[in-house]
Amino acid sequence: MDSEINTQEKLQQILNTLEIDRKKIAETYQTCYILFGLTVLILVIGVFTGFAAFGMICCLLPLIIGIVMYFRIAEDAVEYKSSFKRNVVGAALKGINETLTITPQSGLPEYEFISSDLFSTEPDRYKTEDMIGGVNEKTSFYFAEVHAEYKTEKQNNNRTETEWQDIFKGIIFVADFNKNFEVSTVVRPKNFGNSVRSWFSKNVFNVNSSAIVQLENTDFNNTFVTYSSDQIEARYILTPALMERILDLNSKSDATISLSFIASKMYIAFPLDHNYFEAPIHQTLLTDDLLQNDLSIVKFMHDIVHELDLNTRIWGKE
């Protein structure tokens, strides 16, 4: 109890200090917006009064001041956001599990994203951040926000236009499965192509030479398609109990999840639109529900270990 009180007091002190920084940044941004608005107003008045050239000269001062202030405060804003993640989110994570840590500038490496076999198109543009990791009893795990895209090109009036399409946007969760798999087994949404919330590109769905695995659970087969080049190992992994747990986990997700079992790891992809763990600038930090949404997703990811019963060690690594 004393430890929890000390953690709350420490967190409140950090928030009080950051709130001072936030107000300074917010006020500076507001001043910049006023200066930019004044610049536009002077130009408009100059045009309508027939003194456009004079108006352009007069607007230079507020424009230059606004630009200088904007870029100077931008550096403070970056440090403020980074400090929020390290100190505020970092301290709050300890309330869920003492082993949890956040590394804001780190994420899921692109090579691991590709090797997870969850996706059949390699990204042309890849962004990842906010790696959170820890240990839940016997099971180590980590997860991060990922946004992966591929590009398409089309001709328009003799010009080549590049368009970016999502491969995946959301959180990828990785856990130690305590078993070295001989081949990869992949579980993907069955009707992803017809779903409005589809998170796979429509023209990239193939799973090399893997065959579809028909499992005994009808609900599971109606929700997912399972691929593996080793039918026996796939059934060995996807026990009746685990399939039920995956279905239950999927029911708690906003969109259909996808899983893969590679080497000794289990990967789960959760399609999500929200960007988590970002510090507000124009809203106060001193509210009771400041981290409610962020911590709820962390708790959800943390509890996957229990949801899928990963601490029950029925296998040993060879």
Give the residue extent of every domain in the chain: 2-93, 101-307
Residue 199 exposure: Cα atoms within 13 Å on the Cβ side: 22
State residue 7's pLDDT score.
64
Count of C-beta atoms within a 10 Å radius of residue 31: 15
Q: How confident is the model at residue 209 (pLDDT cuts 50, 70, 90)?
A: low
Percent of the chain clearing pLDDT 70 (strictly above): 89
- For residues 54-74, give the mean pLDDT: 84
pLDDT for the residue numbered 218: 92
Residue with tokens 């130690």: 176
For residues 301, 261, 136, 178, the Cα torsion angle rounded to the nearest 10 degrees is 180
- Give the pLDDT score at 4: 57
Distance CA 283, CA 289 (A): 12
* Cα–Cα distance, 77 to 281 (Å, whole number): 8
pLDDT value of position 203: 35
Report the pLDDT value the prediction gives residue 197, as an integer from 0 to 100: 35
β-sheet with 185-189: strand ranges across: 101-103, 125-136, 139-156, 159-176, 265-271, 258-262, 185-189, 224-228, 211-213
Q: Output the pLDDT for position 60.
A: 83
Poorest-pLDDT segment among 3-12, 45-54, 256-265, 291-300? 3-12
Q: Take residue 83 and report the two structure tokens written for it.
A: 């400090």
| pLDDT for 128 | 96
Spatial separation of the C-alpha atoms in residues 217 and 190, rounded to whole Å: 14
Q: CA-to-CA distance for 298 and 236, rounded, in angstroms?
A: 29
d(CA 41, CA 201): 45
Amino acid at position 260, single letter: S
Q: What is the average per-residue pLDDT within 117-130?
A: 91
Tokens of 276: 């988590």
The answer to whether the beta carbons of residues 22 and 280 sit under 8 Å apart is: yes
> According to the model, what pLDDT value does residue 171 have?
94
At residue 206, the pLDDT reads 44
Q: Are strands 258-262 and 211-213 parallel, antiparallel or unpaired?
A: unpaired
Amino acid at residue number 297: I
Which tokens belong to 201? 């590109």
Residue 98: closest CA among 131, 129, 137:
137
Tens-digit pLDDT profile for residues 71-122? 889 999 999 999 999 999 998 898 889 999 999 989 999 999 999 999 888 9
More confident site: 208 or 64: 64
CA–CA dist 4, 295 (Å, integer): 16
Q: How distant, in Å, are the alpha carbons of 24, 80, 144 from that of 21?
A: 5, 7, 27
Band of pLDDT at residue 3, cut at 50, 70 and 90:
low
Q: pTM above 0.95?
A: no
Pull the structure tokens for residue 11: 């967190």
Q: Encode pLDDT of 143-195 as tens digits.
A: 999 999 998 888 777 787 888 899 999 999 999 887 778 888 999 998 754 33
Q: What is the pLDDT of residue 202?
A: 34
Distance set, CA 152 to CA 37, 155, 204 (Å) = 38, 10, 12
Half-sphere exposure of 182 (CA within 13 A, CB side): 8
Integer Cα distance of 253 and 274 in angstroms: 13
Per-residue model confidence (pLDDT) at position 19:
92
**Which SS3 state, helix, strand or coil, does residue 317 take?**
coil
Does residue 285 contact residue 22 with C-beta atoms inside 8 Å?
yes
